[in-house]
């Protein structure tokens, strides 16, 4: 987190000492910003960045100091498309939404596919299965304890799976989770009943 701040400070410093002293900045309506005003403007911006650096170091030193930002720079509260794992992005962005399509139901298998939206940058897909409901949106974990994914993929195009070795005429719950790079996961659950096995 400190590297962008130091880069910003260097930019403001370069503008202050290399650009601002060269000439006044004017417009067609004869409004001018004097060289010393531009210089002071950049110096104030440098001071703001110094305050951010100081606050970050105080809060992030592990000693419990600082003003309560826990090591995060909070001055510029905006979602950044290339800063996916930031605390603000996690709070501000919405989780992906998932819709499931079921097909190919047999006594021993089922095929499920899914579509996602609001997934700003893909991270992974997971699929869980169980004979009882395994998804609870009111819990922090969302998925029942002890249930492991039966499918995992980091391929954004891998959005379908065939699940085999199922029992005939049995209810199964399937949950699909789509996770983006900010570690936000959208879930959806569907109930499928396998077909009865026909014995010739």
Residue boundaries of the structural domains of the chain: 2-76, 92-193
pLDDT at position 183 over 70 = yes
Average pLDDT over residues 100-114: 96
How confident is the model at residue 84, as a pLDDT? 57
- pLDDT tens-digit map of 48-65: 878 877 776 665 443 434
69 SS3 class: coil
CB burial class (10 A; 0-12, 13-18, 19+) of residue 91?
A: exposed
CATH of domain 92-193: 2.60.40.10
How confident is the model at residue 45, as a pLDDT? 83
Main-chain phi, psi angles of 78, to 5 degrees: -145, 145
């Amino acid at each position: 987190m400190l590297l962008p701040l130091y880069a910003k400070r260097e930019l403001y410093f370069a503008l202050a000492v290399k650009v601002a002293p060269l000439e006044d900045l004017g417009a067609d309506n004869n409004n001018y910003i004097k060289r010393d005003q531009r210089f002071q403007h950049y110096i104030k911006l440098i001071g703001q960045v110094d305050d951010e650096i100081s606050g970050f170091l105080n809060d992030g030193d592990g000693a419990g100091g600082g003003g309560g930002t826990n090591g995060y720079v909070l001055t510029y509260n905006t979602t950044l498309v290339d800063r996916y794992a930031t605390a603000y992005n996690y709070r501000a962005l919405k989780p992906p939404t998932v819709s499931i399509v079921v097909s190919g139901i047999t006594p021993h298998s089922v095929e499920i596919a899914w579509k996602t939206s609001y997934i700003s940058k893909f991270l992974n897909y997971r699929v869980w299965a169980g004979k009882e409901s395994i998804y609870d949106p009111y819990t922090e974990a969302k998925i029942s304890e002890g249930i492991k994914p039966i499918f995992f993929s980091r391929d954004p195009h891998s959005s379908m799976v065939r699940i085999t070795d199922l029992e005939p005429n049995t209810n199964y719950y399937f949950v699909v989770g789509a996770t983006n790079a900010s570690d936000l996961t959208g879930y959806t659950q569907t109930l499928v009943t396998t077909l009865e096995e026909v014995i010739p």
